[in-house]
Amino acid sequence: MGPELHRSARVALTLVFASIAGATGSAYAQETKVTIVVPNPSAINNFPLHVAIGEGYFKEQGLDVTVEAVNGSASVLQSMAAGQAQIGNPGPGPLLGARARGEDVVFIYNQFPKSIFGLVVKEDSAIKTPTDLKGTTVGVGTADGAEVGFSRAILSKSGLAEGNDYKFLAVGDGGTAAAAFLNNEVESYAAAVSDAAIIGARGIPLREITPEEFLSFFGNGWAVTRSYLDGNPKVIEGFGKALVKATKFGLDPANKDAVLAHAAVGNPQEAEDPKFAAALLTAIQDRVTPLDVSTGYGYQPPEHWKMWHESQVATGALSKPLDDLNAAYTNEFVKAWNE
């Protein structure tokens, strides 16, 4: 979902773009090929990535980028571990789980400083708080997506235990999640911002019941394996610089049409309903805006990682605390990205 959203069967979005105007043959020879894997095919959800491609920012950094979309964070991490991709966009919960399994993967860029998830119910539901979900079925996009850890933490904090007090049901996202609500298969849904927008567009008004304290749980970001990080610092620096430049471009209201046009190249289907696309972009723009701009785009607050870590242990997603939480992320490149 959401970014674990619009999941379908594995979709390969190979985006190989022509060079920016004025590029020479020698420039091509100097470009580093980078395969980037994302947990869903939505381009608006990842608008900085597609702006960086469309505006030529990756090319400026000597990067020849190819993007692949897969089914959720688990698949993102698997692709990276298998060497099929150099940079991925997983959720923090799944990344911690991967590290617990011995995969040395590192979060390098916090793309969604604000929570991209919310626990929602139908607007006319009698459910008012997470505690009211006892004895119900909670819908999620996939069984191993980042939204599962997020909602499990909320329910655990409310005194509910998975299996005994509630159960998860993977119902997909967007349209299929809307159908699950209509068919009364689920009473609530762990929705990404985009999912909620899609469900609402299908005529199902939603109400969020996420406790305030969980809204600071950051969402998906960019990650690499430790070996790639150590061996390719210039690539990481260039990648982040392009993303920061693209994010700033995308947050400027004057560039709205250009951003939507770049996103439409990445996912034409999203552009079929211009009004919905514009509304979704507005929602995503809010989530990628740093809580404190002075810390820089991409910055990861250590205290927020501690929150994620503690919630994963408390809910049983991690059988025990990681030996070194600090090894799961780095802010090493933030200063260079924001210069």
Q: Which residue, among 190, 164, 159, has the nearest Cα to 177 in the 3D structure?
A: 190
Q: Give CA–CA dist 294/184, Å, rounded.
A: 45
Strand-pair partners of 34? 65
And the tokens for 143? 């069984």
Confidence (pTM): 0.77
Give the pLDDT score at 217. 84
Residue ranges of domains in the chain, CATH in brackets: 25-114+219-337 (3.40.190.10), 117-216 (3.40.190.10)
Q: Which residue, among 235, 250, 266, 239, has the nearest Cα to 69 in the 3D structure?
A: 266
Q: Which residue, among 239, 295, 16, 10, has the nearest Cα to 108 in the 3D structure?
A: 239
What length does the chain have?
339
Which residues fall within 8 angstroms of residue 80, CB to CB, at 6 or more apart?
A: 37, 86, 87, 88, 105, 223, 224, 225
Which residues fall within 8 angstroms of residue 274, CB to CB, at 6 or more apart?
A: 260
Mean pLDDT by 10 residues, the chain (339 residues): 42 40 44 95 95 98 97 94 97 96 98 88 95 96 83 92 95 86 94 81 88 84 98 98 98 98 96 89 89 93 94 89 98 97
Q: Which residue, among 166, 174, 178, 137, has the nearest Cα to 45 in the 3D structure?
A: 174
Q: Give CA–CA dist 223/228, Å, rounded.
A: 10
Q: Give CA–CA dist 105/92, Å, rounded.
A: 11
